[in-house]
């Protein structure tokens, strides 16, 4: 049974490791949530281990710089792991599922330098590419031409590597389609996709390996039933759903929260079930 809580601090004696999502939980892309700073400070004073695990297709260093600009303080004292970091490590080391991915890649959407200064080579010719790389859609608008690229890439049987699984994202008060939405479109067209990040195991394992604890003492705090909460379910750790994130419209109704969760569905993602629920991180 899902339990409603007033504060993460209510659970401070129950858990030793806290995994936090980034967007929609500690900030909205425009501002750091004030209570998030207080939560991190309190957990740090109580010697808890904290990891920010984010479905950002960019490296953690870029996300840290962004949060500095937004005014983060205590939050930055905890390590961050992004799906971009994990995707980079898997590609660089040719680990599953990238053992035979090839070396030439074609950038889809925004050209983020995920594989710059590596043995991989960027090409502007699909015929000379081994795979598509999708990391970011920031500022991208040329969706009409993208359909042609996808059609040609599928004819060439090129796999798409996506370092950000999020189908929905947050910018201030708006919820909008995110990078993972393009990966789903490619998959719907019949393309091969490798999507790295929550709810996949890789990013949870990447953080858990640094935690030196047992899963019973780990708590995931996120705003996506599809990525954060379902990922936590699959990784067999407890979770808190923040309802003011990407599902805010669903939770604006007067229905009981269990009924709301039961009716949140996605054609291409599984809906998770949280251990706890709260409106905002505090």
Structural domain contains residue 36: yes
Pairing of strands 131-134, 121-122: unpaired
The enclosing domain of 174 has a CATH number of 3.40.50.1000
Check residue 254 and give its pLDDT. Answer: 66
Check residue 74 and give its pLDDT. Answer: 94
Structural domain contains residue 90: no
Tell which of 148, 163, 195 closes a domain: 195
Domain residues for the domain of 175 are 98-195
Structural domain contains residue 93: no
- The reply to whether 14 and 50 lie within a common domain is yes
- The reply to whether 230 and 189 lie within a common domain is no
- The number of folded domains in the chain is 2
8 Å CB contact between 131 and 161: yes
Is the pLDDT assigned to residue 264 strictly greater than 90?
no
Who contacts 151 (Cβ-Cβ below 8 Å, separation ≥6)? 189
Distance between CA atoms of residues 21 and 198, nearest Å: 10
pLDDT per position as a tens digit, 72-100: 999 999 999 999 999 999 999 999 999 99
Q: HEC string of 195-253?
A: ECCCCCHHHHHHHHCCCCCCHHHEEEEECCHHHHHHHHHHHCCEEEEECCCCCCCHHHC
Tell which of 163, 195, 227 closes a domain: 195
- The reply to whether 141 and 112 lie within a common domain is yes
Report the share of the chain in percent with pLDDT over 90.
76
Tell which of 139, 172, 195 closes a domain: 195
Structural domain contains residue 89: no
Please state the pTM of the whole predicted model. 0.90
Cis upstream peptide for 118 (omega within 30°): no
Structural domain contains residue 9: yes
Structural domain contains residue 70: yes
Structural domain contains residue 227: yes
- The reply to whether 79 and 204 lie within a common domain is yes
Distance between CA atoms of residues 93 and 107, nearest Å: 20
* Least confident among 18-22, 153-157, 242-246, 274-278: 242-246
pLDDT per position as a tens digit, 198-257: 999 889 998 999 888 899 999 999 999 999 999 999 999 999 999 998 888 888 766 788
pLDDT per position as a tens digit, 124-155: 999 999 999 999 988 888 888 999 999 999 99
Check residue 188 and give its pLDDT. Answer: 92
């Amino acid at each position: 049974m899902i339990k409603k809580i007033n504060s993460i601090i209510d659970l401070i004696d129950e858990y030793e490791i806290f995994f936090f999502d980034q967007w929609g939980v500690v900030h909205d892309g425009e501002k750091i949530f004030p209570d998030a700073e207080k939560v991190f400070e309190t957990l740090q004073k109580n010697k808890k281990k904290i990891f920010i695990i984010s479905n950002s297709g960019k490296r953690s260093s870029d996300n840290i710089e962004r949060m500095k600009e937004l005014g983060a303080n205590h939050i930055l004292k905890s390590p961050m792991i992004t799906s971009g970091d994990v995707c980079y490590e898997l590609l660089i080391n040719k680990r599953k599922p990238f053992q035979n991915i090839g070396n030439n890649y074609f950038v889809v959407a925004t050209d983020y330098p995920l594989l710059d200064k590596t043995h991989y080579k960027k090409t502007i010719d699909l015929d000379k590419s081994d795979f598509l790389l999708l990391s970011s859609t920031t500022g991208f608008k040329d969706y009409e031409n993208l359909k042609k690229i996808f059609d040609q890439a599928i004819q060439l049987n090129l796999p798409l590597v996506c370092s950000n699984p999020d189908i929905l994202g947050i910018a201030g008060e708006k919820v909008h389609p995110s990078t993972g939405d393009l990966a789903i479109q490619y998959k719907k067209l019949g393309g091969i996709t490798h999507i790295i990040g929550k709810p996949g195991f890789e990013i949870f394992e990447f953080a858990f390996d640094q935690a030196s604890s047992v899963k019973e003492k780990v708590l995931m705090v996120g705003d996506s039933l599809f990525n954060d909460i379902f990922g936590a379910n699959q990784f067999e750790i407890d979770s808190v759903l923040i309802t003011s994130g990407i599902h805010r419209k669903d939770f604006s109704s007067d229905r009981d929260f269990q009924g709301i969760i039961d009716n949140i569905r996605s054609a291409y993602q599984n809906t998770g079930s949280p251990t706890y629920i709260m409106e905002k991180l505090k």
